[in-house]
Amino acid sequence: MTLLKEYMTTNVESSKTSDDLKTLAEKMEKDDVGFLPVVENDKYAGVVTDRDIVVKGLAKGTGKAEDIMTENVVTGSPDMEVEEAAKLMQDHQIKRLLVVDDDAVNGVVTLGDLGVENADQVAGNIISEVSKGKGNN
């Protein structure tokens, strides 16, 4: 049994609900990522993507993470099986899965991180669906 904690990235930059768009973009640029967990009181509150910054933030003139973040986030746990996580990501059409334990961010994982058999095909299916505008993280 292969667990998610064996594949997740644990050194994950996060943001606060009060961070402005510039701060969010700078963190993403610094770490070369397009996704940041939003944390408040040591518990995850949501996620912000680079697309959120542009579409929900800049385009609408909104300025803070709390205004543009996705709050109802699909998450995994460190002890979740890799295959279950890949299926969860495919079912919800997401490219990244936030890994949490007791509402605290433990890491993040992508299908590529998982090394799941046929990951390229599964990732292609997810990207195709996400491109249709259904998923957000």
3-state secondary structure at position 15:
strand
Residues across the chain: 137
Give the model's pLDDT for residue 32: 92
- The widest CA-to-CA distance across the chain, in whole angstroms, is 47
Q: What is the pTM of this model?
A: 0.78
b/e sequence 17-52, b meaning 16+ C-beta within 10 Å: bebebeebbebbeeeebebbbbbeeeebbbbbbeeb
CA distance 68 to 60: 10
CA distance 1 to 10: 20
Bridge partners for 98 per DSSP: 75, 108
Give the model's pLDDT for residue 114: 74
Residues of the chain with pLDDT under 50: 117
Give the model's pLDDT for residue 125: 60
3-state secondary structure at position 135:
coil
Degrees, nearest 5: CA angle 21-12-30: 50
